[in-house]
Each structure stands twice: as structure tokens, then as C-alpha cells.
Structure 1
């Protein structure tokens, strides 16, 4: 399914395709896994896009964005995900950057925004805690005012790629006597500050993607508070809205669906009774993907007329992540006994795993995709949002 484009937008699409083909670093295609790349490798594409002026498609031009129309932003998202490029640093560009230029002080914008664009600062997200994941309002990390500083104590967990981060944006409790959402602030913390400790969490697929971050008497200048004290919940919701809208993942799911078709064709004989069931399951997930794509195109059209997406962000998050999980499940089933292999025991006879074209084995992708329906606000929570905002329940 394609968006009907004007001549100008079609020319832009062709320019994007040519730019990706000619400039995407080969080092990032092998193994093409964010968790297997070094910090330096992860920044290669980011720096190419910064030089081009395309690193922050959603940012206003006054802060360093390219000044694209909504349709051009959509084209960029579609083409990069279809091409399988790793995005620029999402926690930096997509998340904390918009919070800073929307709610931050002039000094914060001047200090942080240029370094986010250049990739000189790598940010991670300090939201989740033990006992405060989807129920984010239950955060217990405390920030106590002490003169010109806050003294921060607490424990953040599932902190993605914190081992590379220069800064962390944190939700901290500044008023323990207030109602849950009312007593939270949004604080920017230098990871080099004494008292910040990062401890790896090795996930079930064998990768080091997430971490525990411990904050022990960490002194943070008051000037690093974004917006007003105790108003952090407003900024957190703003950030999560941006994150969830980008989770439809149409291009990524389309790419992995084509891979699944190739694997089924290669691994399962047409005479095998399982072949018909795979064909049926693939057809079902492909129809659901097309329906989600049609919904995305409709929302883009509405947004171009100034209509906010509303609860569509939650819809995209639910359907997009569940569709990708189904594709990962089917792929894992299709490779049969080869699915027993992990990166420690690669199944060399199977050209699909690990293979430079795909990076992770299908098993690792299957295991890693379990997280998709949890992070960014669990899908159960997103259903509650839809029930309240759309159905009035």
C-alpha cells in the first residue's frame, strides 16, 4: 500500500532512497543489531544524517530540524524502516530532545540540543524502577533540594544502552506528600556524576541491551530541572506520546514478513501438511499489517489537516508490537530444530542464522521481541487508555 504522492514528494522519496543506498554505513549492516554494535559503530549513521541535516525529522527548523512537511516525515520513516537502517539515537533525538525544546529553558536548549543533534551526547531514559514499570506514577527515586542542587537517591532498571550513555533523563519524586502524579519532576543527570553506577542485565537472548542504574547521593544542579518542579508527569506523558506513535513499525514488520516468506519457502516442503498452515498464518498477519498501514495512512492524512492522533498512538503501539511478535513467532517455528541455536551456538548450516544479512538468529529475535508489548507502556495499559479516551469506559 502506498501513499499517493505529489511530484515533489515523489522526488523526495527517490532522493531518500538514493541517499540511504549510497550512504548507510556497511559496518552497521553486520551484524545489524543494536546490541552487537560498539558505541562508535552505533553513531556512524547518526553522524552521516547530522552532516546532511536529516538527523531530527520531527524537530522544528529553528532547533535544527530539516523543516519537512508531515508527508515528508512519513516518507522518511517508511523508507528508513523498509531499508532496515538503525535509527539515530532515539532516547536523544525522539524523546528528550523534544521535551527540552518544548519545556526547557533557553540555557538548556543552548547547552543540550546541539550536542543531541551531533551525537556528542548519548542519552538514556530513567523511567522504570523495580515496582514502577507500567505503573510509572509509583516511582520512588527521590530528589531532595539542597541549596543549588538536588540530592538524588534511587534505582532505575531496564535502562536501555545505559552502558554507552553520557546523560540520563529521570523521573524523580520531589514531593512525597503529593498525589502520585503530582509529586514527580523531570531531571537531567550527567552519568559521570559521583554516585551513578551502571550494572548490566543480560537478557534471555544473551545480549547486553539493558541495565540497572543506581543513584546514591547524586548531586544534580537545580538548573538541570526541566520545566517546573512537580510537573514532570506532564513532560513524561508528552515524551511517551512521541515514543508510542513511532511503534507501529510498518516498514520493519514488512521487511521481516518478506524474510519469513523466504524461510518458509526454503525450509518447508510444499507437500508438508505444515506448509498450508504457514500460508494461512502468514496471510492473516499480512492482512492485519495492511489494515494497520491503512490506519496509519489515514491518521497521517488527518494530522496533515491539523487533527491530533489522540488515542491512535496507543493503537499503533498495541497492533504494531503484536504483529511483529506474531511474525517472530512464525519465523521461529519455521526454522524447526535450528531454533535451538543462540549466538553461543550458531547453526551454521542454516543460511538464515546468524548470517550477516539478518544479524540475530531467529531465536534471539523471537526471545527479544517478547519485550515489545511491555516497554513504552504495556499493551494492557494502552488498552485502558483507549477504553477511557475512545469508549468512555
Structure 2
């Protein structure tokens, strides 16, 4: 499968590339290149720049403010965004809950929430995982008890990205209990300044603050803030998670990283070869990830142009996140090799300048640490494998675990 762009699509790619070169906040791009942490204000300015062209809500129907792109145009945009080194769009509002509000929200909810998301006047957090319900999300226990026209919420959400920036949080809560644990779950939205909501930071190993623990102590929120029908939250969550898992592809960033690794490794002296790129072990690892990225790209293009089932999306999630981790491992190996030329170049006579060394080592080390979580969040790899097995067993009548094979 080969992506062949039409003249109109090539012109669109040039337009997007020009936008990032001239209209997008250049200081934000500089911060990303340096590995500096972006502030909420930086993210808002970046999102507003995209929205000035109508390019922010890339997954929304055109009637609600989406750009009306074809799957190929969306793919081109995402490639150019990552080629430019722009930060990823914060997904919680515009990629996760926005399409759910478009599809299942009431007219009043759409009018209330969608414009604020489009104009970046409100940020959102996702309240799914709990201290005892991470990979097994259906076992969640946070309760929502009706009291007149309100729900009263009690419970805790954890690993909540961006909750300290958020104005709203959408939560999976238990409104009743059925025979199956997936039953009786509802999707409810809560303002973060509601009485009884408490946000506690979780500081990551590299000292950054992105994750949080959010506690709800008898928090009152109107039933009108529930999206869709009561007890149907598991269905809406699975629709959302399909989009979330496909959003991990980041093909453009993977390709850019791999090109940079290959270029820099070609300039570094190796331990057992003239350059690092000629060392069989490193060359094999790099080529393996390059092949994986190419396969992922073709699979994502197929997924964007069709209606992939849950097994395909789960397989892609595994492949994308594992490739991302492998790329960070290559970066870390490259950073380790950069030490030797600095220490030995005077004695060896190797006197090339290394202008990229100071720029990439710190942010790529931080990326290595952060990406350890990729195979956990959004549904752990083990959960994705279970999903694939169940769907294949159902489709092909495969024997289940412990069942004899005749």
C-alpha cells in the first residue's frame, strides 16, 4: 500500500507546512526543541493558532466545527504537525470528550461545552482509572447517587493527566450495579471548582508534574451533566477509547526521530566499526524499528480509510506504543555514546563538533522515562491482547483457555 498524493493534496501539505513555518507560535516550537516544559498559556496559544485556521478539532464532524477533511488530509496534517516539531494536541477535550459530546450529547450540552473547547477557553481532564481499577476499568467503584436533580459523587480517580490545569473532568461513575460489572456505569461531567473536588499532584520520576490524584467527597453535580443515557457509560467509553488508542500512532514523530537517530549515528565513531551506524547490533535495532514504523503507517492509513474493529485498534495500540519505547531506547543509547567523543576526541584526534548533543540528551532521557507508561495507559498491553483474543475467538470459534482441541 502506497500513499500517492493528488496535486490538491500536495498543495494542502505545502499550505500546512507554510502555516507551521510562519503562523504557528515559533517560541512554542523552540521550547519543544529545547525540551522545556510548556505552560498552560503556551498550550492555549498553540491550540488557538490551529483554530484560527479551523484545524483544531480534526476529528469532529464539520457541522460542529471540524475541518471537513478526508482521512488523507487529516493524515497529512498530523504528519506536518509532527514534522514541524509542534507539541501534540492535548487530547482530553478535543480528541477524547469532544467527539463524544458531538455524537451523544444533548443540543444544550453541545452549545454549552463545544465552543469553549474549540476556543481553548476550557481544558478538560479524563477521570477513568481509580486506585483499585486501572487495567480492569470495569471494576470502578466511584459512586454517583441520585438526589433530586443532582448526582452526589464519592470516590477517587488517579493518574489523571492535566487535572491541575483542567476546568472540567469527565468521569466514569457507577450509578447502579448489574449482573455484569460493565453495567450501571455512566459518563458524568464535573466542574473542577465544584465543592468537594480535591486535586493532589503526582510528581514523576523526572520531577515533572503531569499526573494527579483527584478525590470527590460528596460532590454535587446536575444530572444534566450526564452524557447520554444512564448506565450506558461503558459503551461511550469504548467509543472514546477506540479514538484514544488510534491517536497513539504519531507516525510523523516516529519517522523524524528515526531519521535523526540515523543521521547522528552516522557521525559518531563506533566501538567496533568506523561509525556507530555500522555496528551490526545498533544497525539491526534501528532497522527493526524503521520497518515497524513503516508497517504501522500502512496499518494506520488502512484504519483511517475504513471502519477498523476493536481487534485492529488494539493491535495498533500495542505496536505504536512498543515502537515509541524502542525509539527512546535508541535515543538513550545514542546519548550514552556521545560521552565518549567528548572525553576522548583530544587523544584520538577526532575533532568534529557535536552541536546536537546538548540539545537532545536531556529531553530524550525524559522521554525515555515518560514512555515507560505508554504500554500501560489507554489500556495496558495485556488488556489489548485479551481484547484481540476474545474477538478472534468469537469470530473464528477458537478454543478458549483450558478447552480441549480436537
Same fold by TM (over 0.5)? yes
State the 1:35 CA deviation: 8.0
Report SS of the residue matched to 1:217. Answer: strand
| 2:368 aligned with 1:366 | yes
Change (3 A) 1:114 1:230: same
Q: Matched residues in 1 for 2:383 and 2:354: separation? A: 39
What is the aligned length? 378
Change (3 A) 1:335 1:193: same
State the 1:285 CA deviation: 1.2
Q: Note the 1:189-268 alignment, pairs <5 A.
A: 189-268=190-269
Partner of 1:385: 387
Change (3 A) 1:318 1:176: same
Q: Matched residues in 2 for 1:2 and 1:21: separation? A: 27
Change (3 A) 1:374 1:388: same
Partner of 2:346: none
Q: Matched residues in 2 for 1:186 and 1:170: separation? A: 6
Partner of 1:330: 330
Q: Matched residues in 2 for 1:108 and 1:233: separation? A: 20
Report SS of the residue matched to 2:133. Answer: coil
Partner of 1:342: none
Change (3 A) 1:291 1:177: closer
Q: Matched residues in 2 for 1:296 and 1:195: separation? A: 42
Structure 2, unaligned runs of 5 or more: 340-352, 399-406
State the 1:48 CA deviation: 0.8
Deviating more after overlay: 261-270 vs 54-63:
261-270
Q: Matched residues in 2 for 1:372 and 1:354: separation? A: 26
Q: Matched residues in 2 for 1:107 and 1:92: separation? A: 17
Q: Matched residues in 2 for 1:141 and 1:176: separation? A: 12
Q: Matched residues in 2 for 1:173 and 1:117: separation? A: 30
Change (3 A) 1:334 1:359: closer
Structure 1, unaligned runs of 5 or more: 340-348
Change (3 A) 1:260 1:391: farther
Report SS of the residue matched to 1:164. Answer: coil
- Note if contact 1:352-1:361 (Cα within 8 Å) is conserved in structure 2: no
Specify the structure having the higher radius of gyration (Cα): 2
State the 1:350 CA deviation: 7.2
Report SS of the residue matched to 2:297. Answer: helix
Report SS of the residue matched to 2:387. Answer: helix
Partner of 1:164: 165
Task: Identify the match of residue 288 of structure 2 among 284, 292, 298.
Answer: 284
State the 1:252 CA deviation: 1.4
- Note if contact 2:166-2:192 (Cα within 8 Å) is conserved in structure 1: yes
State the 1:367 CA deviation: 0.9
Report SS of the residue matched to 2:211. Answer: strand
Q: Matched residues in 2 for 1:263 and 1:178: separation? A: 57
Deviating more after overlay: 19-28 vs 383-392:
383-392
Q: Matched residues in 1 for 2:313 and 2:36: separation? A: 26
Deviating more after overlay: 92-101 vs 32-41:
32-41
State the 1:256 CA deviation: 1.5
Partner of 2:53: 52
Deviating more after overlay: 74-83 vs 157-166:
74-83
State the 1:266 CA deviation: 4.0
Q: CA RMSD in A?
A: 2.2
State the 1:315 CA deviation: 1.8
- Note if contact 1:161-1:211 (Cα within 8 Å) is conserved in structure 2: yes
State the 1:228 CA deviation: 0.8
Change (3 A) 1:268 1:371: farther
Deviating more after overlay: 250-259 vs 237-246:
250-259
Change (3 A) 1:360 1:96: farther
Report SS of the residue matched to 1:361. Answer: helix
Q: Note the 1:73-88 alignment, pairs <5 A.
A: 73-88=74-89
Q: Deviations over 1:23-63 (max 9, x none)?
A: 22122224318981111011111001112111111111110
State the 1:211 CA deviation: 0.6
Report SS of the residue matched to 1:169. Answer: strand
- Note if contact 1:160-1:210 (Cα within 8 Å) is conserved in structure 2: yes
Q: Deviations over 1:202-251 (max 9, x none)?
A: 11122111111111111101110111111100110010011111212211
- Note if contact 1:311-1:385 (Cα within 8 Å) is conserved in structure 2: yes
Q: Deviations over 1:99-128 (max 9, x none)?
A: 111111111011000111010010010001
Which structure has more relative contact order (CA 8 Å, sep 6+)? It is 1
Change (3 A) 1:38 1:354: farther
Q: Matched residues in 1 for 2:301 and 2:337: separation? A: 39
Task: Identify the match of residue 295 of structure 1 among 276, 293, 299.
Answer: 299
Report SS of the residue matched to 2:169. Answer: strand
Change (3 A) 1:359 1:161: farther
Deviating more after overlay: 226-235 vs 15-24:
15-24
